[in-house]
Structure 1
Amino acid sequence: MKIATTSIIAFSILMSLNAHAGLKGTPKQQACVQLQTAPDKDIFVETYQEINDTGNGGVEVTLNEDFTIPAGSSAGEYCGDSTIKGNINRSGQVGISFTIKQSGNIMDTFSSYSTFDGDGASNNWDLSEKGRCSTSDENGNGVMMRATDKHGQLLTGCNQFNNIPDENTAKIIFTPQIQIDGNPDHGYPHYDAASVEAGSQVWIKNDIAFSEETESLYRCEQTNWCNGDPDYYAPGAGSNWDQAWSIYGE
């Protein structure tokens, strides 16, 4: 009888270890920035992400990604092109940090992590928002998570998210505090039809011009046509303007 009891206990322990060994997940995360207003200057976004399998070797993958949101871009959500992906056995952390710059100056930062409990199709994420949850901030600044669970429900906020499958990406969305000076030209030179016709104002490919007629920014795409007859090629106003220019920020 004593031998049988020992065998049952040993079997139970083995089954428990096997069950825990299967608790692992593959977190996928993407860094995004939410702008509440159109920026008057280019916004430079620096991001860092890491996947830390805290119980099995530590940091296994990192991702540094920078991107620019041009001046005059519409208010909205902007994300990096890359997604970090790795493996976590049972539990770990998925880290993220943002540095937001304008004109070389740091406007806002955020750095934290999400606790991740892996279980394949039932992964649990819990973002540590460090008192800066954007959904509870009166100005909407701060951070939040967005992910879709295995039932197809879109979850948004700073609470623990349960049942997130491996194949679904968790977006960490940072809404920074930035200053807007209200100048529609965002500091770029104004297109002047008379000066273009006289040859005293010359545009080359990739130059950015402000149109007083449309109060919008444009990028020169074709050097010859950008300096052509304004009736045809004035940015946003000429009959064939889009053969020479593109809207900056789109």
Structure 2
Amino acid sequence: MAPHHPEDVGMKAEKKAEKSPRRAVAAADRTRQPTEVRRRLIVEAAVPLIAERGYASVGVRDVAAAAGVSVGTVTYHFGSVQEILSEAMVLQIERYYTGLSEAADRATSGAEGLRLLVDALFTEDTDRHWRMWFEYWNVGEHHPDPAFARGQDRRYESWHRQIRTLAERAIAEGDLTSADLDGFTVRFAALADGLALQRLRQTPPLTVEDARRHLRHFIETELGRGPGS
């Protein structure tokens, strides 16, 4: 993938170019932190930048400013801005779906779990997640590291398993019925993605409540009502 900004080209070389004297730094800022803590700080700072501006519009200087560190600190811990942004997207995606899974697992039934899943997918706070989600998949098309694409495959497989497991549980409990769980899973994920895209673009306008309503209607139409409902 081509670098986004001139300052992102040859980040290691940039460190050599920093010849000017550094300004005095506050004592609190001079406290040395473990490498992993400092890396996490930088990655965390990149998350809202990607959500607000998009992956292609964030450069190393933007990340350094958001993290409150020097460009040299960023280039010391990361080999490229792409590495930072990739880690930031993976961090946010995994954090979001871990919370989603935990909420669904606490459900008292499979049908309730599906309802909780729908409610959690569309809230006023999830627009940022969906922006990151689409950036995540777009970046994967051109990412130079095959491990990134493999991670995407695992994430989507996990997401499909979660949907299918809840639907299977609802059927076993007699709340819903279906003869095509695999098909339901694929269509549920596709509809959620499509509604999320429409929600972000607002073409045509789509409210959170309407997005939830469409998904609930899909569940009832696809899975039907079981004899125990």
Using structure 2 for the length normalisation, give the TM-score: 0.26
Q: Which fold has the larger relative contact order, with Cα–Cα distance below 8 Å and residues 6 or more apart in sequence?
A: 2
Higher helix share: 2
Q: Which is greater in Rg?
A: 1
Task: Give the strand-richer structure, 1 or 2.
Answer: 1
